[in-house]
Chains A and B, each alone.
Chain A
Amino acid sequence: MRVQRSPFFYWFVLPSATLAIVFAAAMIALLQYSLRQHIPGSLVVGGFTLDNFARMAKWVYARVFVDTLLLSFYTALLNLLLGYPLAYALIRSRSAWLKGVIFIATIAPLFTGDIVRTYSWIIVLGNNGFVNVVLKELGIITTSLQMLYTPFGVVVALVQYSMPVMVIILAAAISHIDVDYEKAAASLGANPLKVFVNVTLPLSLPGILSGFITIFAWTLSAFATPQLVGGGKVNMIANMVYNVGFSNFDFPFAAVLSLTALGLTMGLLTLLRLSVRRFEHVGLH
């Protein structure tokens, strides 16, 4: 490899190299802790052991992983169903006004932060919250529906939480589809529904796949939503890590759980890379 002689070479590489080393050190510290013995009631860790990993097999812990995978799956699926029409309209609508509304409504939540977004759902879903109050005043129900602290409530909040990312991914995919294909199909007599099902949808498949897996992986690490909307009744991996770390002070086991979550995420993203590559060969380009 050619070594650059630019007078600024080191000035440009040193800051990022330093940061990368600090970050790598943190990840190595995490890895190291996962192999240490936990001494109950103490923050000091003991010698090296593999016991922490063996504990993962217990159903109390494994169950949270299963629940998390299920919740993430539903979240990704619903996201796809609700996000596609939005992304499609965002790119293809002729009304600049509608585009603007969709853009602000979907993208803005991405920047308002976890707590604000989660807290809003507490007010909407709570026993004295918006949905219950409105339904009662309309005379549809007499006793409050329990939505807070249920898997249903958590999924409702999680879907809205990850919608911006889904729409960004789908919109990018749809914007890359050449409108001429759709026009060609229509001019050959296909009705709009047929054009959509046979042309637009297959061509946006890489985006669909990428959106689904990204949201799935993203939701695996959700923390604020299950913590507050789930209220201890619906636990996901991140909540378990937090509890194990800050209630039991068992940081070695928290490290094991974190690394397992990281492994899951990495596995999913590898799957994503492989499958998107496969679909790109199917495309028309």
Chain B
Amino acid sequence: MRRATRRRLWRLSAGAVLGAILLYLTIPSLVVIMAAFNDKAILSFPPQNPSLRWFVKAYNYDDFRKGFYNGLLVTGWASAIALAVGTTFAYAIDRFSFRGKATLETILLSPLVIPHFTVGLAFLILAAQLNVTRTFSLVVVTHVVLVLPFVLRCVYVSLKNIDTALERAAVSLGAPPLAVLLRIDLPLLAPGLAGGWLFAAILSFNEFTASLFVTGQRTQTLPVAMYTYIREYADPSLAAISAVFIVATAMILVLADRFLGLKRLLAIEAGR
């Protein structure tokens, strides 16, 4: 009996600790969503007079619109290029041995540990030396370098899971190499490619620090436009955009988890 009460007490306190930590993690998102629907510019709790005026204001603000379209442009190119480069390189790592392979791998994985502002500054200086400052291609290249390691990892993991017996079977039945690649490997890799592309797209669209260094007035992406706005104004238009971001991200993650197995992609449940 006493053991049972102690157990219950233990569970209760463990639950309280977990609850408090989860509250700390989620409170910023909840507060932002609340602020976004609040009519007044100054916060009040509990919220009064629900309104959509900040959403309207944010939607009509030119810099946000331009930033959004610039962001789509940059993300579209960067994620596509990163997917192409990452997939081919993952295949090369897995299937070929060649001189300089380890060096190439080290260079391309290093953005995982190099601070983003260092990468941003490096590309800004390179562009200055080549006289191509503040063009879209500069932003795209910077983003490709930053998101490539994530694509590489996703594709590499699913490449490792391909049963090579399937390829050998196709070859023994007379399939030319290109057909093996396109009709055996590509379909088997599809989930890994989708996951890698999704990671790249989300990370690129949200990338801020390096973007602040390499974008200019004409090429600024949405996070940079939002940053500039925070520094100049204090109204909740930004809360409205943030609310949209939070809801959209949560939806994408739930979908990705359902269709791609997010935990496996993040390697949390390795070896299960």
Contacts and interface: CB of A to CB of B under 8 A. Distances in A.
Nearest to B256: A111
A8 B118 contact: no
Interface string A94-115: 0000100111111111011111
Given A19-B85, A82-B21, A124 B31 contact: yes
Contacts of B111: 23
Contact of A171 (B45, B223, B268): B268
B114 A104 contact: no
Contacts, number: 254
Interface string B199-236: 00011011111001100000000010011001000000
A67 to B, nearest CB: 16
Contacts of A265: 113-115
B205 to A, nearest CB: 8
Nearest to B103: A20
Interface in B232-272: 238-239, 241-242, 245-246, 249-250, 252-254, 257, 262-263, 266-272
A118 to B, nearest CB: 8
A101 to B, nearest CB: 7
Contacts of A255: 121, 125
Contacts of B99: 1
Interface string A246-285: 0000010011001101100110010000000000000000
Given A133-B43, A217-B113, A223-B117, A6 B126 contact: no
A220 B209 CA distance: 13
A134 interface: yes
Interface string A116-153: 11011111100011100110010000000000000000
Contact of A262 (B114, B148, B181): B114
B180 to A, nearest CB: 10
B207 to A, nearest CB: 8
* Interface majority SS (helix, strand, loop, mixed), chain B: helix
A25 B119 CA distance: 11
Contacts of B181: 8
A26 interface: yes
B4 interface: no
Interface stretch (B54-62, B90-98, B166-174, B187-195): B90-98
B84 interface: yes
B42 interface: yes
B97 A4 contact: yes
A111 B206 CA distance: 8
A106 B129 contact: no
Interface stretch (A49-57, A197-205, A237-245): A237-245
A223 B100 CA distance: 34
A19 B145 contact: yes
A90 B18 CA distance: 11
A12 B91 contact: yes
Interface stretch (A27-35, A58-66, A180-188): A27-35
Contacts of B177: 6-8
Contact of A115 (B18, B226, B252, B271): B226
Contact of A128 (B28, B43, B98, B213): B43
Contacts of B178: 7-8
A60 B11 CA distance: 50
A251 B133 CA distance: 14
A120 B115 contact: no
B26 interface: yes
Interface of B: 10, 14, 17-18, 21-22, 24-29, 31-32, 35, 42-45, 84-85, 88-89, 91-92, 95-99, 104, 107-108, 111, 113-119, 121-126, 128-129, 141, 144-145, 148, 177-178, 181, 202-203, 205-209, 212-213, 223, 226-227, 230, 238-239, 241-242, 245-246, 249-250, 252-254, 257, 262-263, 266-272
List the 3 closest A-B pairs by CB distance, nearest first: A113-B206, A221-B115, A120-B28
6 contacts: A13-B98, A104-B254, A112-B242, A113-B206, A115-B206, A115-B230
